[in-house]
């Protein structure tokens, strides 16, 4: 069913949910369980759910005795290799009481740039969903490079939503909704709804930031939401702590209305910095 409004999310056929590193790693690792509870409730309603989860590097850091996110590529790759294994284990343990099996899907930017690889990825995910497996998607940080990568998992989530023809995309953040300027600044106002043709240039969304565990920011979510909405996918941006309410269709967060005439441009997932 088309998700023209946030209230349509509970009846959506297929939903992609993205969660960031800071929401499910370190001192917030315990939040994997309530996240999974909400995903399982949607799954139980018959919705096909795909989780795009950051956190491999952040999860691996303590096992490499690292206090902060490494800056060199080799150590990032090592942390990702260790952390991805542990992250999937944690998700599967949380899913076990619901008798839901997780399926790990690791993608590189090249996978979505190459038509053959893209079709292979789409076919695999379609089969997983058909088998009622819950795909857990992440960028393959172990083989990704600084020069060619998605840039952030908000963008990856939008591209995955396009790839599988999702009806809705939920981007989970650290705050309940987006604001007209950083919420700690005077005059910041919450944004409830963004029409597909709204001009957002007057708003001051925070630029991409790098913290001790991950990357992201309001600007990346706006960019990803616009990308998905242009393809006819409704997008909700809200707090990871409100994922249950989000998937239940409550009036929360910032809703990006889907374009009524979706674009048919090909998926391009690569961010080139070199």
Q: Which residues are annotated as a binding site?
A: 18, 54, 141, 153, 173-174
Q: How far apart are CA 148 and CA 24, in angstroms?
A: 26
Closest CA relative to residue 224, chosen from 50, 52, 10: 52
Count how many residues are written for the chain: 274
Q: Which residues are annotated as a binding site for ATP?
A: 18, 173-174
Residues 6+ apart with CB under 8 A from 99: none
CB burial readout 233-257, b (16+ within 10 A) else e: bbbbbbbbbbbebbbbbbebbbbbb
Q: How far apart are CA 191 and CA 17, in angstroms?
A: 20
Q: How far apart are CA 142 and CA 241, in angstroms?
A: 29
Q: Which residues are annotated as a binding site for substrate?
A: 54, 141, 153
């Amino acid at each position: 069913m088309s998700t023209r409004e946030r209230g349509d999310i509970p009846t959506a056929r297929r939903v992609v949910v993205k969660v960031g590193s800071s929401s499910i790693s370190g001192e917030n690792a315990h939040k994997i369980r309530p996240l999974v509870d909400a995903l399982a409730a949607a799954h139980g309603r018959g919705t096909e759910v795909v989780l795009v989860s950051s956190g491999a590097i952040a999860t691996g850091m303590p096992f490499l005795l690292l206090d902060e996110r490494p800056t060199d590529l080799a150590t990032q790759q090592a942390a990702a290799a260790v952390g991805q294994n542990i992250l999937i284990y944690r998700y599967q343990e949380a899913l076990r009481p619901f008798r839901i099996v997780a399926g790990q899907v690791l993608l590189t930017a090249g996978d979505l740039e190459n038509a053959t690889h893209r079709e292979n990825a789409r076919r695999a995910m379609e089969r997983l969903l058909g088998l009622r497996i819950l795909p857990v998607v992440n960028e393959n940080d172990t083989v990704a490079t600084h020069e060619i990568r998605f840039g952030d998992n908000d963008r990856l989530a939008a591209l995955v939503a396009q790839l599988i023809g999702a009806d809705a995309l939920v981007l989970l953040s650290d705050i309940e909704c987006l604001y007209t300027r950083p919420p700690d600044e005077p005059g910041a106002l919450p944004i409830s709804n963004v029409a597909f043709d709204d001009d957002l240039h007057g708003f001051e969304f925070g630029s991409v930031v790098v913290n001790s565990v991950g990357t992201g920011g309001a600007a990346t979510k706006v960019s990803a939401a616009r990308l998905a909405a242009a393809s006819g996918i409704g997008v909700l941006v809200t707090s990871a702590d409100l994922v249950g309410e989000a998937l239940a269709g409550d009036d929360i967060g910032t809703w990006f209305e889907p374009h009524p005439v979706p674009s048919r441009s090909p998926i391009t997932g690569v961010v080139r910095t070199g």
